[in-house]
Structure 1
């Protein structure tokens, strides 16, 4: 029965990807209808916080765009990249990596995805390359974040064996950083150049699309609105505030002895930033909702609403079975812990949940901390099935069509960056674990 239900999910993703636009979201609804009405599966709760975080960031980014901020950022970035435009494939993942490492959540990547897409396209770079690496970097940095739930759980489990948070970070930070850097070198050569990409050329046949793409080819003539600088400053202040409050929970309001969650923190800060930008910079109210950032962001929300809810419902109905299969695999061959972590993370879409399930099993089987920490990055299997929020958002932000879900679902734009980063990071993980532990 699980195979049939999984097939339903995969078919819905395939059809939704072919429809485009809000296709992924509405086909997720079709899949939910089949699983619930036909197979009697109880739907889980939709990913409300993820959707609201996206909306809050999109509201701030769209307000900044309406005030001319995006044009200013693009002009500045384009001027820097003009000397060596291909650097965006290395700079973009560095930015999302640092943001996630300090904030403890990969969803902060939403704030820079539209800028990465625009800078890449206007510099003649295939956006698939920097977008793919930026999204992967935003995931992998979770295991390098001292405040991420997965890292906290790992340290708690290994503390009786004398492992500290510093021990874990001394392995995960350099291993993931170097692993991503090696992957960037290869990814920077993948795919046709943007000017030779058949899908982009096909889209350029549409006169309206061509006019939009060529509107700002001459970067020196981009008109900067008077309030653009303030809008950018306010937006960056909001992003910086999110990162700082993620790194220092004591700066967040305390309720019942615990800091306010990062989801609510991001939502409140970015909505407030949007309001301040509108009040101070006074952009056209209609322009906020008519810009490309707002349209792409709302498409991403609809897509996540349907597809992520569908995937979570499938796993929610078979959670115990999945855990038993993976646990059994580790018992038979302990060296497969990396594969088990990867497989379970793909199914549950949570580094923290994967850590909570498999690390105790690994310890019970007698696996040394060196092996567990070296393979810890394998909990980042989100990219394997393309239903993760930043993945869907980046596909929508890339107007050239180079960032996509392939014909066979799994041949999507994030598979090569993800697998390459995983292999390199685990290899470096064993190297640094051997040095530190």
Structure 2
């Protein structure tokens, strides 16, 4: 390993570490700083900016912001909450199911945040440690991104695998079945072997005795806007349209042999159509869209993806031959290492 590689690796890890220490948008800022140092000081060729990933995130988040302003997101969360409260004993299975399908529909794991207080309260009511359903629910909300038809991850992977003969409909079916089954399997293991008895937690009992644990007070909720339910149906219809179009242009289906819009372009345009319909049908004040929490967090994610993914691609592209040689040798002898390699590659390039 020569000195230049060590310096490049130090810049990569140093930029990421600095961004994590500063927090928030800084991880994106320092990613751009790292690219500048690698290119200008160490002579590396800048990598590709992940425009497709960023644009898909922007389009989906824009539609979700309209859904949130119309009250549709609250409508979905309240429906999921009713499901959890009606079946509290099955919280370890229902919590990940709810967050999983919210992400499938929305294409982002940000929707899971709204469910966390509900999961905690329902778990406490059944004397279950909240950490059990919370942990699997958070994992499920992120794994579902790899099976959501409106996520950048699915578009990217389908673009890579379809030329190899694996059709989009088959990929989507495999991802939906395997990811959800994996979440339920982990939930089963937690249910069977986890330490779930909240009454045996000394720390919780001490806080309870000191009066530091207060029951959650739902209080009076504001009525949902008149167009809340309508916005959900518009959004759901748009997601279905994305799936149908993506399947129609798949070579395995062949209904549209020469598509004008590629799959990523279709998602972007369909999400814009969804946002337009929600704004018009629900008569939204568009000036308030910028204030939505989903919009702010989504745009922050775009900045982070821009910096970190660009930095990671710059480093990996500069050493792609060595990476391929090392990876092929290791995977040839130890096939299970492919999962580890893909994990770290995704973390550097697309996270």
Give the TM-score, by structure 2 length. Answer: 0.74
Matched, 1:232 2:219: no
Matched, 1:26 2:26: no
Structure 1: distance between partners of 2:329 and 2:143 = 29
Matched, 1:271 2:276: no
Q: Is the 8 A contact 1:16 1:27 kept in 2?
A: yes
Aligned to 1:327: 328
Instruction: Find 2:73's aligned residue among 70, 73, 84.
Output: 70
Instruction: Find 2:110's aligned residue among 93, 111, 114.
Output: 114
Aligned to 2:342: 345
Structure 2: distance between partners of 1:243 and 1:57 = 14
Distance 1:291 1:166, change over 3 A: closer
Aligned to 2:85: 82
1:146-157 residue pairs with structure 2 within 5 A? 148-149=158-159, 151-152=161-162, 155=165
1:55-204 residue pairs with structure 2 within 5 A? 55-83=58-86, 84=88, 85-86=91-92, 87-93=94-100, 109-110=107-108, 113-124=109-120, 129-139=136-146, 148-149=158-159, 151-152=161-162, 155=165, 177-186=180-189
Structure 2: distance between partners of 1:266 and 1:190 = 43
Q: Is the 8 A contact 2:28 2:303 kept in 1?
A: yes
Q: Is the 8 A contact 2:95 2:119 kept in 1?
A: no
Q: Is the 8 A contact 1:96 1:109 kept in 2?
A: yes
Aligned to 1:359: none
Deviations 1:98-136 (A, max 9, x none): x7xxxxxxxx632xx232221223442665542322322
Distance 1:190 1:309, change over 3 A: farther
Aligned to 1:354: none
Give the TM-score, by structure 1 length. Answer: 0.60
Bigger CA radius of gyration: 2
TM-superposed deviation, 1:225: 0.8
- How many residues are paired up? 311
TM-superposed deviation, 1:140: 7.1
1:300-379 residue pairs with structure 2 within 5 A? 300-330=301-331, 333=333, 336-339=334-337, 341-346=338-343, 349=345
Matched, 1:16 2:19: yes
Q: Is the 8 A contact 2:143 2:179 kept in 1?
A: no
Secondary structure of 2:335's counterpart equals: helix
Structure 2: distance between partners of 1:289 and 1:129 = 31
Structure 1: distance between partners of 2:331 and 2:162 = 22
Instruction: Find 1:49's aligned residue among 45, 49, 52.
Output: 52
